[in-house]
Structure 1
Amino acid sequence: MMINRRALLKGLAAAPVAIAAGAATGQQPAAAAATAARAPIGPQPVSADLSYLTASHFKLKYRTTTQAGTVAPYTQVINDIQTVGALPSATVDDVLKSANRTGSKILLSEMSGFAQGWTWDKNTTDGTGLWYPQGLTTSADYADGGLYNGRKVILVSWYDHLDETTGKGARISFVDMTNPDAPKYRHVLLVEPYLDPSTGGAGTPNFKAIHFHAGGIMWYGKLLYVVDTSKGIRVFDTTKILKVTANGDDTTIGRQSNGTYTAHNYAYVLPQSAAYDAQAPTGGERAIQWSFISLDRTTTPDSIVVGEYGLPDDPADHKRVFRWNIDATTRLLTATSNVATAVEAIQIDVNEMNGATSVNGKYYIARANGNSNGDLVTWVPGSLVNYNDLLAHPEDLAYDKNTGWLWNLTETQQERYVFARNISRLQ
């Protein structure tokens, strides 16, 4: 969520913010150290507001055609862009091999179960307020064995923080974790293909930036799922990455007057290939606020968990988690006539949820706490809630069952980290 929004919130518990070594000087040592100083709060009663909702009231409809400009199949427009603009295809491997930034190792020695972590390249804008990281997924989501073509990979979503409605949109960091102490990465811009009707006829194939929060992501096979706060889920086919061959002013995007395509000076774009449009809930339920998403490989079949960020002092704000089954063969949500129906819906009433996943029936929730340290909430339905230590402004979660690690990231400029914890060490 946005930092300026949180600054207005009242924390439920005050705690000192952990500061990375070197942060005061703006310099990044080879291995920064940070401390999550607050001890676990311990078991807490489940809220009296906890209740199971009727899951069938919540549905998503699968769509493969564009909505911007002239309606056409996404795949057709992507192929036409390649033909008209002579844009070559690129693979995830191509992006990883062209990585142009390097992260730095961090040590969170006081954090229970800390396994591994790093921070972004401080010599770039990645540590500034221009962009804010939000969603996280790993190659353990991509494939059951935990690897993408033999290597560990992390994907992270960012949104243009300075101008979320008209800026550069949203992007994905493709991170090669071959060397976890110095991961290499490159940003790829998310774009929406469309046929531009202003050119007459059937319209000219084009793409534009997507202005959304990109609050959570999940990479399942070739498909990347990205939640869109009020609309549902956008889907991107990672085999459809395009290499942008024209340079340009970083304010331009899409087809230019000379017939070339630019993308705010990004070398690669990942076009949207489908969408799951949220349907109006039945039974008098409120529409879902799509804040985060994760994959649960411990259910049969695999499933996704999505949920909502809710303000602590606003009872009308959304604080729910939902589950949909997903097909390991097609990589699409289980559906009938292109309509996917939720299989679980819970009013959990945990404030400020920025990420959640479940492992063998146990929920792990990244909870913000105003501008204080956050909480990693663990909860088994029907049991007690535990609050474990966490850094300030935690975001999305992703679980790797091969290592037993729970990955998390933080968005604040002072502690902009990506890190894993061993869940066997957590309450």
Structure 2
Amino acid sequence: MTQDHPPRRWLRRTAVSMATLLVATLGVTVSAPAAHAATIDDFTLSWTSYPAADAIPMVKATMTAVLQDGNHTAAYRGSSCSNALGQSTPIAWYCFASTDSSSLRPGPDLDPTAWIPQAITTVSDALGDEEWNGQQGLIVGWYHEGSSGARISVMNTATDAYRHVLLANPYWDSALGRYNFRALNNLHVGGMVWYGDYLYVVDTNWGIRVFGMKHIYDLGASTNGTTTCSGIGWVDTADADAAPDSYCASTYKYAMMQIGFWQRPTASNSANFCLSSGADPRFSYISLDRMAVPDRLIVGEYCPADAAVNGRLVAYNMTDHVPTNGVPDAAWNLPVSNIQGAATNGINFYFNQSDGTTRNGNLYKALPSGSTLNLNGSPRKTPIGPEDLSIWQSSGHLWSVTEHITSGSSPGRMIYLMPSIF
């Protein structure tokens, strides 16, 4: 049953964007910062296409169909995750269904069955009118501690219902003589952007993976697919012939294929993250800046408090929904450490800073000045365990997700919405 709640005014389109209002009120003019040559070189990416994404012999589904096919329900302003609020006062929040709020990570030993949420993006990123065929929604990204790789949760904000979709890597399987797909293991899904027909997902050591909204396969509607086996790809479903005979997506109905990769020539070495010099780039989170012309992808690094630097932020100009040439056109040094997400309304930059499993995080605001980001005012408290940020373009409000479980002393896992003006 749909959760009863007041009208969601934060989802309504407005005639004038938040950035336009700020410019009119404050008289602020934003110019592109000078680029750090070394940082630009570090974050320069090249494109590789994955044509196998179109060749999996199954029935395709539309993103509209997935938005209408939720089989889990999020609780609007629910109590099961409210301990995560602490001292924070978000505009609203949603608790995940119980099966997604208690994937445990006990002690030093990680639970191999655990799914951990990290990323968020919304239909406000996807299209300028903030609707997808008349629907509004958001997507949360998760990584798996075991062998299931990565998934997204597509949520319809009119019904509070959501559906998990497996993210997969398509390829020609020469051993089986067919097109196949596999799990994206070691993909942290630290941030993502839904932009038109594409889903951009950061890969910590490599760059930005790209998935296709037109490359979603429906295993339930495909005669050669099944939703009852836990394997991934063309597998044996344990019937009488003991041979691979069906496509599976870890029991999920839908699988979305990677269509390409904006990547570095070699993988970053994690031992070289966050060094004062000679640092390898770390692709930790991503958001969309629709106030720039052209639109830009904003990508940043997570660096812990004991690192030599706070991390960097770069911007990629977009042409026809893809990075123009894989070369950032702007770069900044971050003003604080432990940043898990960044977004901008065209005037201010906003940063989510985590502070452990029991303390509220911080939402910082900063103004750019050349290659410097100057903190502007005191931070606002966020729920415990804040991650990626996504801005709702017309209102300026900020969506995020927390990663910590609901168990014992853990505070609770939620999607939440914060005001950007403070």
What TM-score comes out, normalization by structure 2 length? 0.76
CA distance in 2, matches of 1:341, 1:218: 18
Write the letter of the residue equivalent to 1:215.
G
1:127–1:262 distance in 2 versus 1, CA, 3 Å: same
1:149–1:306 distance in 2 versus 1, CA, 3 Å: same
User: Who is 1:252 aligned against?
Assistant: 231
The alpha-carbon deviation at position 228 of structure 1 amounts to 0.5
Per-residue CA shift, 1:118-173, capped at 9, x if unaligned?
Answer: 11012x24432321111000000000111111111100100113x2xxx1110000
User: Who is 2:154 aligned against?
Assistant: 174
Per-residue CA shift, 1:174-212, capped at 9, x if unaligned?
Answer: 000014xxx10000000000111324xxx4211000011
Taking only the aligned residue pairs, the percentage that are identical comes to: 30
CA distance in 1, matches of 2:413, 2:48: 35
User: Who is 1:43 aligned against?
Assistant: none
Per-residue CA shift, 1:240-291, capped at 9, x if unaligned?
Answer: 100114336644111123432111111110010011012469xx74221110
User: Who is 2:327 aligned against?
Assistant: 341
Write the letter of the residue equivalent to 1:62.
W
CA distance in 1, matches of 2:337, 2:229: 38
CA distance in 2, matches of 1:289, 1:418: 25
Are 2:36 and 1:53 equivalent residues in the alignment? yes
What TM-score comes out, normalization by structure 1 length? 0.75
Write the letter of the residue equivalent to 2:412.
E
Quote the RMSD (CA, aligned, Å).
2.4
User: Who is 1:332 aligned against?
Assistant: 322
CA distance in 2, matches of 1:270, 1:356: 25
User: Who is 1:384 aligned against?
Assistant: 375
Return the match for 2:211 from 236, 261, 274. Answer: 236
User: Who is 1:141 aligned against?
Assistant: 125
CA distance in 2, matches of 1:314, 1:112: 27
Per-residue CA shift, 1:35-86, capped at 9, x if unaligned?
Answer: xxxxxxxxxxxxxxxx96225423110110xxxxxxxxx23x233322xxxx
Number of positions where the alignment pairs a residue of Structure 1 with one of Structure 2: 344
The alpha-carbon deviation at position 30 of structure 1 amounts to 8.3
CA contact (8 A) 2:181 2:234 kept: yes
Per-residue CA shift, 1:345-372, capped at 9, x if unaligned?
Answer: 2222521111001112311000011332
Q: Which moved more, 1:219-228 or 1:238-247?
A: 238-247
User: 1:361-380 residue pairs with structure 2 within 5 A?
Assistant: 361-371=347-357, 372-380=359-367
CA distance in 2, matches of 1:397, 1:186: 21
1:251–1:298 distance in 2 versus 1, CA, 3 Å: same
The alpha-carbon deviation at position 391 of structure 1 amounts to 1.6
CA contact (8 A) 1:113 1:423 kept: no
User: Who is 1:99 aligned against?
Assistant: 70
User: Who is 2:300 aligned against?
Assistant: 307
Q: Which consecutive unaligned segments of at least 5 residues does structure 2 have?
A: 6-33, 105-113, 236-242, 269-276, 406-410
CA distance in 2, matches of 1:110, 1:252: 39
User: Who is 1:291 aligned against?
Assistant: 284
Per-residue CA shift, 1:97-133, capped at 9, x if unaligned?
Answer: 22100010117898777322211012x2443232111
CA distance in 2, matches of 1:285, 1:343: 20
- Helix, strand or coil at the partner of 1:141: helix
Are 2:179 and 1:205 equivalent residues in the alignment? yes
- Helix, strand or coil at the partner of 2:77: strand
The alpha-carbon deviation at position 389 of structure 1 amounts to 0.9
Are 2:312 and 1:320 equivalent residues in the alignment? yes
Q: Which consecutive unaligned segments of at least 5 residues does structure 1 have?
A: 1-28, 32-50, 65-73
User: 1:148-159 residue pairs with structure 2 within 5 A?
Assistant: 148-159=132-143
